[in-house]
A = this chain, B = another copy of it.
Amino acid sequence: MARQSVTMLEIAERAGVSRSTVSLAMQGSGLIRSETRRHVAEAARALGYVYNRSAANLRKAHSNIVGMVINDLTNPFFAELAVGCERVLQSAGQMSFIANTAESPVRQAEVIRLMQEQGIAGLIVCPARGTAPDAFKSLLASGIPVIQAMRQIEGSRASVVVPDNRRGAALAVSHLVSLGHRRIAFAGGFGETSVHADRLAGYRGGLEVAGIAFDPGLVFRGPPTRDYGAASTAEIIGGGDPATALLTFNDAVALGVCNGLRRFGREAGRDFAVVGFDDVSEAAHAVPSLTTIAVDPQGLGERAAQMILRKVGEERPNPEEYIGAARLIIRESCGARARGTSKP
């Protein structure tokens, strides 16, 4: 069909006023008599009018679109961040579009370019692994605010919204220490991300506070996945002076280790303490349920959205930093609570 689209001019004719009046009425200007406004609204409805944002954006320089670039949407952790963000933007009347980069900096660059062509008002991004420090240069140069969420790229001038990874890891370690553990391992994640660096630093800090010497032999690096957790279990619980407790880079690794332990006839929470990181929704439902550090991705998403809304209005946005709380959620896998003691 592709029928010719209805324009404000047609509404004007039908309502017996001018284009200008229609435009003003549409955007709720106080200059228009309320009766006129009603006529215009009626005519628009009758004609099936659809507002043309492209045309409007042509004059307004920036649209009401906020872009969101997510490294991995199939990971519920990041999906929740996106959803939290979107909820806030939506209720502020901003449209948001979400794009997925699948951890590819190349794809990320492509997506950011396309978004800039659409004239986004701001960008919230969970940078892909290996993102270059100048990835947001073009956006920042044209005065478009950029917020990095969850991860931050060293040397970029964009704002940051992240959880307190360092403190979270330290909390986990001191909890394990309070349960009597001295040989505490750390597993999963690669050195290239800021998140890994921070969580590892918190782990070391926690050990130091407890007066426990750091043993590099207890740090295991690898992909932040369940498969890695399952595969590395043997290594973690083996060796001469093996660990009795483990803090993992994230919940996926922790859940993998819980399964891995079972293959050796061991059970997390009974024979070995496991603490995860992130508190994904599965953590509460797993058996045994997972003790973990909650970072509230939805809440961080909401924060990021509020920050971008503020910055979009600003004349000259300066980089800002927000560090969200990290809370220890004690469940079964650390051994502090017997299995089935109460609802997870």
| Chain A interface mostly | helix
Q: Name the interface residues of A145-171: CB closer than 8 Å to any CB of B.
A: none
A287/B316 in contact, CB under 8 A: no
With A1-B143, A119-B54, A142-B3 already in contact, the answer to whether A259 and B287 are too (CB < 8 A) is yes
For A46, what are the chain B residues with a Cβ–Cβ distance below 8 Å? Answer: none
Interface size class of A (residues with CB under 8 A): 35 or more
A27 on the B face (CB < 8 A): no
| Segment at the B interface, from A109-117, A196-204, A205-213, A238-246 | A109-117
With A1-B316, A142-B3, A262-B287 already in contact, the answer to whether A80 and B86 are too (CB < 8 A) is no
B53/A118 in contact, CB under 8 A: yes
In the bound complex, how far is the Cα of B111 from the Cα of A149, in angstroms? 24
A266 on the B face (CB < 8 A): no
A31 on the B face (CB < 8 A): no
For A143, what are the chain B residues with a Cβ–Cβ distance below 8 Å? Answer: 1-3
| Segment at the B interface, from A16-24, A35-43, A90-98 | A90-98
Q: Name the interface residues of A27-62: CB closer than 8 Å to any CB of B.
A: 48, 50-55, 57-58, 61
For A114, what are the chain B residues with a Cβ–Cβ distance below 8 Å? Answer: 95
B74/A119 in contact, CB under 8 A: no
B51/A54 in contact, CB under 8 A: no
Q: How far apart are A314's CB and chain B's nearest CB, in angstroms? A: 10
With A2-B143, A263-B340, A282-B282 already in contact, the answer to whether A138 and B97 are too (CB < 8 A) is no
For A230, what are the chain B residues with a Cβ–Cβ distance below 8 Å? Answer: 285
Q: How far apart are A174's CB and chain B's nearest CB, in angstroms? A: 30
A83 on the B face (CB < 8 A): yes
In the bound complex, how far is the Cα of B102 from the Cα of A191, in angstroms? 35
In the bound complex, how far is the Cα of B119 from the Cα of A96, in angstroms? 15
B61/A5 in contact, CB under 8 A: yes
Q: How far apart are A266's CB and chain B's nearest CB, in angstroms? A: 13
A273 on the B face (CB < 8 A): no
A319 on the B face (CB < 8 A): no
For A55, what are the chain B residues with a Cβ–Cβ distance below 8 Å? Answer: 54, 58
Partner of A142, one of B50, B51, B90: B50
A107/B79 in contact, CB under 8 A: no
B54/A118 in contact, CB under 8 A: yes
Listed by A's residue number, 29 A-B pairs whose Cβ atoms lie within 8 Å are A1-B143, A2-B143, A3-B141, A3-B142, A3-B143, A5-B61, A48-B138, A48-B141, A50-B113, A52-B117, A53-B119, A54-B54, A54-B118, A55-B58, A73-B79, A73-B82, A74-B79, A74-B80, A74-B281, A76-B79, A83-B102, A86-B99, A90-B107, A90-B111, A95-B99, A95-B118, A96-B99, A97-B98, A259-B285
6 closest A-B pairs by CB: A97-B97, A2-B143, A54-B57, A1-B143, A98-B98, A54-B54
Residues of chain A at the chain B interface (Cβ within 8 Å): 1-3, 5, 48, 50-55, 57-58, 61, 63, 65, 73-74, 76, 79-80, 82-83, 86-87, 90, 95-100, 102, 107, 110-111, 113-119, 138, 141-143, 226-227, 230, 255-256, 259, 262-263, 281-282, 285, 287, 315-316, 340
